[in-house]
Amino acid sequence: MQAKEQYLTIGTGGITGVYYPMGGAICHLANQLTTGDYHCEIRSTLGSIYNLEGVRSGELTLGISQSDWQYHAYQGSSRYQAVGDFPELRSLFSVHAESFTVLARADSDIDHFDDLKGKRVNFGTARSGQRATMEVLLNLYQWQEKDFQEVLALNPSEQAKALCNDKVDAIIYVVGHPNPSIKEASGACQTKLVNVFSHNIDKLIAETSYYRRSVIPGGMYLGSPMDTETFGVSAVITTTLNLPEEVAYQLVKSVFENHDEFVQLHPAFELLTKQSMIFNAMSAPLHEGAIRYYKEVGLLPIAVNNE
């Protein structure tokens, strides 16, 4: 009997970010599976918030999301209080670390995150993880949008040009490094990465399970020779209980059995180990199909369950 065709849609992000090629790699591996008839396609989206909404509504089979917003979607906290918790939400694996990144014009008089107040700043598009995380910091610092000279909602493909054309003083991005958009801006005009550390950030990290300290290495981008201190999250491959166990099993297997090739997809993946992909930043339970594979190959103890 011919296997039923499985249609899978993965929500990613802008084409200049890391989510898009990552989704493409996962889809490529899924379409190569010989254990079933898979038709996987990627969709460029606005980012984490859109992807989590798409997974919840059934528009997307899987979505790539920041671990902080996956946590809130599962728990029904923060921006998800009105819609309530999402107990069907599941993780397959986590991927790269993503740093909260502030890139400013060199002539902007912005040397620290606190200096953004009163400036022209791109927060990112609505329903993107970067804008949602910036809104967390607005609340943390007790700032409002009116405290800025101008707040823009540019997508990643627009922000480098806007920065270099002096349309904006600084851009916000939650992303893995090195990143093409940041390289584009720092190569086209004089820019600098801005440190994001303070008592407020220390408190935020201490009170949450999904934020951690992060360092963007010095010399990675022109104009930023020193390490930049900030905080970050991880990107997580998200789905729901509606994904059949066998399909989840095969998807995870296809990535993990091609781990060496997968981590070469982007420099941000260089330090990824199989263990870190299972244990880092899991802010929603693992899918049963993923657990089945991890137990099968000895990456998880037999006793681990879905709680």
- Residue spans of the domains in the chain: they are 5-97+234-296, 98-233
Domain spanning 5-97+234-296, CATH architecture: 3-Layer(aba) Sandwich (3.40)
5-97+234-296 and 98-233 have identical folds = yes
Distance of CA 195 to the CA centre of its chain: 20
- Residue 190: Cβ within 10 Å count: 13
Q: Which two tokens stand for residue 182?
A: 């940041």
Between CA 81 and CA 259 the distance in angstroms is: 37
Measured CA to CA, the distance from residue 70 to residue 75 in angstroms comes to 9
CATH 3.40.190.10 fits 98-233, yes or no: yes
Which of 159, 172, 134, 156 has the alpha carbon at shortest distance from 19? 156
Instruction: Say whether pTM exceeds 0.75.
Output: yes
What's the rounded Cα separation, in Å, for the pair 98 and 277?
Answer: 14
Distance CA 159, CA 305 (A): 43
- Most confident range (mean pLDDT) of 1-5, 241-245, 265-269 is 241-245
The pLDDT of residue 304: 53
| Residue 1: band (very low, low, confident or very high) from pLDDT cuts 50, 70, 90 | very low
Residue 181 pLDDT more than 70?
yes
